Amino acid sequence: MKIKTCMLLSVFTLNLFYSQESIKEPENPSSPVIDENIVVEIPSVENPFKNGITNNSLYIFRTELTFGNGEKKKLDLHFTNLITLSVTNYVSNRCSINTFSIFDLSRVEIKKWKVENVSNNLYIFIPQIYKLYFNDGKESKEYNGNIPCFNVLTSKVNGKDINFYTIFYDYWIKGKNNIFRWKNSKSLVFEYNLLNPLFDVVCAIDFLW
């Protein structure tokens, strides 16, 4: 397999991830467990990619990940599909379409997540609005719509694949005095998790070109 070295991130499959510990090398994520039988079905997300390049090469990108608690971690992310994105902006009632490659990016920030019910009181939070920065110094652009290749980021440590996640799960549960709250974030506000990811969720990716 041909190896090409750059700096960026990669994605393979959509999995769920959450840990109560400090950020460390994650294990394979498992479904949250509560006192009821829940079958977790990951909802489908629309693929926003307009063009794609798929081959047998492995691209390795040096990156720095920022997590929900502000921690940062530098690592190489592996990517197999080099994808071109098209962003549509509406300015003064005029439509502007900008197409760019993953190589054009210097930083990706997730500004907002969308929430979807999975089963009973279990919800998945999927990145929905991104702020994209470019390595040529051009103005940043906002992208509205999930970008699947950033949902799961894969690296390799000591020959072992490990994943980091921009998606996360939480339960909307009834607490004391019959007041509902999120089980993991503890917030009483239903919309809270849309702007405040759990502490070990990736919320920004810097490409160290």
The dihedral sign for the CA sequence 68, 31, 74, 208: negative
Question: What pLDDT digit, counting tens, does each position of 125-135 carry?
Answer: 999 999 999 98
Residues forming beta bridges with residue 67, ordered by sequence position: 202
DSSP assignment, residue 93?
Answer: T
Question: Domain residue spans in the chain?
Answer: 3-207
Cβ 83 vs Cβ 53: under 8 Å: yes
Retrieve residue 128's tokens: 């929905």
Q: Which is more confidently placed, 156 or 181?
A: 181
Question: What pLDDT digit, counting tens, does each position of 51-72 carry?
Answer: 333 345 778 899 999 999 999 9
Q: Dihedral angle at the C-alpha atoms of 148, 150, 152, 153, nearest 10 degrees? A: 150
Retrieve residue 207's tokens: 């490409």
Stated pTM of the model? 0.70
